[in-house]
Amino acid sequence: MRGKGGGKTGDAPDLLSVEGVSVSFGKRKILDEVSFTVEPSSIVAITGRSGAGKTTLLGMISGLMKPDSGKVVYKGQNILRWGDFRRSRFRNREIGFVFQFFNLLPDMTSYQNIIYPAIISPASRSLKEKVDYLVGYLGLEKIVHQYPATLSGGERQRVAVARAIINSPRIILADEPTGNLDERSAGDIITLFRTLRDENGMAIIIATHDSRTVAGADVHLNIDNARLQRIEPPERRKKARRAR
């Protein structure tokens, strides 16, 4: 991963790169010439004040929003030039979303929420097994047939994570995933992200204010006055990263 002007920190090829992205809402500049790359098996934390443009940046990466200028390159292709159909497919298969307010569909059970992105994309014969595996993996057995309204915040977020990874995406975009959780649940989610990074090779991009999340990230980017700055991690984390 490298931020603007930063050197490459690992040997892995880039999974995604944001190149010179600028966004304005009216006269207000939200992002100004933002560039960075994301490697597989990495956690990227994006910080910044409220309204700094973190969520907007996630929107650009997922292809949900279009910048005024710049590129978002995935596997060598600028996703912003794709049509809606292809970008939707990209979001469905390559990206998983986790939100601060969980954003589960309230009229569906946990099981249905988890399976929903998979039924949008073609069904696998092993879909049920896959959901069962995730349910077991995330410890959702007891709540799998409950509706979101009856779940705790931590449980809802775990269901949201299960939904995000049901299609085995390469990137997870998390918008304040721990913002609405107690300390312990937040810790569980961060651990879960690390596991996904280490065992499944996923890249996780987190927009956050939580210092613990930032501390667990491989890369820390901060948006200030529409500009992206890379914050160098402490030396011990660099070492841990290299060792991995």
Question: Toward another protein, which CB reaches closer, 168 or 191?
Answer: 168
In this chain, which of 19, 40, 66, 116 binds another protein, going by CB under 8 A?
116
Closer to another protein by CB, 107 or 224: give it.
107
Shortest approach of another protein to residue 7 CB, angstroms? 29
Residue identified by tokens 């410890």 is: 139
Position 133 contacts another protein (CB under 8 A): yes
Alpha-carbon gap, residue 80 to 91, rounded angstroms: 12
Contact status, residue 61 vs residue 205, Cβ threshold 8 Å = yes
The secondary element (H helix, E strand) that includes residue 127 is helix 127-137
Contact pattern from residue 141 through residue 170 relative to another protein, giving x for each residue in contact according to CB under 8 A and a dash for the rest: ----------------------x-x-xxxx
Q: How would you write 22-66 as a 3-class SS string?
A: EEEECCEEEEEEEEEEECCCEEEEEEECCCCCHHHHHHHHHCCCC
Angle at 140 between CA 185 and CA 46, to 5 degrees: 40
- Which CB atom, from 45 or from 207, has the smaller least distance to another protein? 207
What is the length of the chain?
244
- Among the listed residues 12, 73, 80, 120, the single contact to another protein using CB under 8 A: 120
- 41 to 100, contacts with another protein by CB under 8 A? 55-56, 58-59, 62, 64-65, 84-85, 88-93, 95, 97, 99-100
- Residue 136 burial by Cβ neighbours in a 10 Å radius (0-12, 13-18, 19+): exposed
Judged by CB under 8 A, the stretch of 118-126, 206-214, 217-225, 227-235 that binds another protein is: 118-126
Where in 175-234 is the site for another protein (CB under 8 A)?
Answer: 200
Using alpha carbons, select from 216, 212, 206, 211 the residue that is nearest to residue 44: 206
- When binding is defined by CB under 8 A, the residue of 124, 152, 191, 225 that contacts another protein is 124
Find the part of the chain contacting another protein (CB under 8 A) among 15-23, 66-74, 125-133, 220-228: 125-133
Scan for tokens 């879909």, then name that residue.
Answer: 127
Cα–Cα distance for residue pair 207/220, rounded to 1 Å: 10
What are the residues binding another protein (CB under 8 A)?
Answer: 55-56, 58-59, 62, 64-65, 84-85, 88-93, 95, 97, 99-101, 103, 105, 107, 116-117, 119-126, 130, 133, 163, 165, 167-170, 200
